Amino acid sequence: MRRTRGGADLRQWAELVLPWLPPPDLAAAASTCKALSRVAKSVSSRRASDATRGLERHSIPFLDPTGDGQPYSYFLYTRFPVLALSSPAPSAQPWGGDPDKNRILDASSLAVFASPITGSGAGCGCNVCAPLAVGDYGRCPCSSPKMGSFSSSNAGNGTDLMTECGTNCSCGVECVNRLTQRGVSVKLRIVKDRNRGWGLHAAQVIHRGQFVCEYAGEFLTTEEARKRQRTYDELACGGRLHPALLVVREHLPSGKACLRVNIDATKVGNIARFVNHSCDGGNLSTVLVRNSGSLLPRLCFFAAKDVVDGEELTFSYGVADLTKQGLPCFCGSSCCVGRLPSEET
């Protein structure tokens, strides 16, 4: 009887502790005894079944047809961009535990990290923001789109900017002018390819112009971005890391300066970190979204064309410099140049 009670206590302890462990530590725990091995196997299976930890509307599973023994990619999940310096991300996050203890109760419970989309600027006083009509920007002062351009070695060429309501606005999360602030609403899956690694795929039909997801990660200073990029380049060349540091440059109206935004989803991010490059521009368009009262824009993905179920979601990282060494490109498009673009930080 004692042995049974002891085994139950060990399993209960393991169910609480093992979801906090990164893969190497989880594997080490699994090697100690059969009881921990069974719990570790369950944790790995739950992780592979949902990359979002239950934090999005739909589960987004990992699928590995290559059978290389790595059923998922480990990272810390956030639905929103985070400020790396003012709000350092924790070094661990539970993932793969009992799903009954990770139920979504309301929209506010979805935030794992504090969102930097805050500020002291003005917001609208609308109780219900007027929906946009063709040729009409509506009555809400936050809904007027601003034409502009931005560029990035990762984010392709120029596109429009759009504005949405922010934290100082009177409207709630279901406001029609908060389209990109409710997380991922389309069904997706993460599929591994032998050459390209993990990639994000549609698990439903996605229509042209439909919001897919935003690129969530850590907002970095340029100094920190350059420091991390040097480290990432060394690790990537050895095949030990697949970095997801994105640099966006928003050109200001004067045309004499630009705002540089660095978003690093390598360790902390969301499912957008799995969107791969395509030399033909891909099927996603990138849009900078500004929330009223916030200083930093957010990078969001919209469908550039109709996407069928099972199709991989891609966009252009930019133009590759063929005069310099870089990582090989396996996008498979007819115009593939054979090398991935890289950011000159």
Q: What is the DSSP string of 41-101?
A: HHHHHHHHH-TTTT-SSS---EE-TT--S--S---EE-SS-EETTTSPPPS----SS-GGG
* Cα 112 from Cα 108, distance rounded (Å): 10
Phi-psi region of 37 (alpha: psi -120 to 50; beta: other; left: phi over 0): alpha
**Using alpha carbons only, what angle is made at residue 235 by residues 229 and 237, rounded to the nearest 5 degrees?**
100
Return the pLDDT at 6.
62
Dist. CA 48–CA 68, nearest whole Å: 14
DSSP character at residue 17: H
* Model confidence, pTM: 0.85
pLDDT value at residue 317: 86
> For the CA atoms of the chain, what is the radius of gyration?
21
Which H or E run includes 106? Answer: none
Q: Look at residue 135 in the predicted model and tell me its pLDDT.
A: 46
Q: What pLDDT is attached to residue 43? A: 96
* Separation of alpha carbons 295 and 203, rounded Å: 34
Residue 168 is predicted with a pLDDT of 84
pLDDT in tens, the chain (345 residues): 445 566 778 888 999 999 999 999 999 999 999 999 999 999 999 999 999 999 999 999 999 999 888 899 999 999 988 887 655 566 788 999 877 654 443 333 334 444 555 555 667 888 777 655 444 445 678 875 544 444 444 444 445 688 888 888 888 888 888 889 989 989 999 999 998 899 999 999 999 999 999 999 999 989 999 999 888 887 877 666 788 898 887 776 666 667 888 999 999 999 999 999 999 989 999 999 988 888 888 999 999 999 999 999 999 988 777 667 777 888 888 889 888 887 654
Q: Which pLDDT score, from 0 to 100, does residue 345 have?
A: 41
Q: Calculate the CA dihedral of residues 175, 180, 181, 183 and round it to 10 degrees.
A: 120
Beta strands (DSSP E) in the chain are 62-63, 76-77, 82-83, 150-151, 161-164, 188-193, 197-202, 211-214, 218-220, 245-251, 258-264, 268-269, 276-277, 284-291, 298-303, 314-315
Cβ–Cβ contacts within 10 Å for residue 312, how many? Answer: 20
Superfamily of 52-84+106-315 according to CATH = SET domain (2.170.270.10)
Backbone φ, ψ for residue 205 (5° rounding): -75, 130
Q: Which residue has the tokens 């091995």?
A: 37
pLDDT at 175: 86
Q: Which residue has the tokens 């419970």?
A: 109
DSSP one-letter code for 105: -
**How many CB atoms sit inside 10 A of residue 172's CB?**
12
pLDDT of residue 249: 79
